[in-house]
Structure 1
């Protein structure tokens, strides 16, 4: 699954276009490397996202194409 889609489906970022822009701006790192929006996310990847002064760090637990709002947090583990 692409990183921009994962961020949207897991509801870390609300819109896929915003996730895409964050990747283009170099604010998304996977395993300490800057990635493009087309990066293919794998289970156990560590994702860091820069939101202004705040950094969010999560570990990917599973990859679901669709998920209900209540279950979105089961896709990742918060490490920040």
Structure 2
């Protein structure tokens, strides 16, 4: 699954366009490498997102196309 779509499905970032912009500005990393919006995410990958002065680091536990709002937090584990 594309990183921008995963960030939206997991509710880490609310909109896919915002996730795409974050990737384009170099604020998203997958396993230590800068991610482009089309970079693929797999189970076990570590995603790091820099929001200004704050950083969020998560591990991908599951990749699903359609996720109910209450199940979104089960897609990742915060590190």
What is the TM-score with the length of structure 1 in the denominator?
0.98
Structure 1 segment 31-70 matched on structure 2, within 5 A: 31-70=31-70
Q: Unaligned regions of 5+ residues in structure 1, if any?
A: none
Cα RMSD of the aligned pairs, angstroms, is: 0.4
- Quote the Cα distance in structure 1 between the aligned partners of 2:50 and 2:27: 5
Paired residue total: 79
CA shift, 1:35, in A, is 1.0
TM-score by length of 2: 0.99
Structure 2, unmatched stretches of 5+, are none
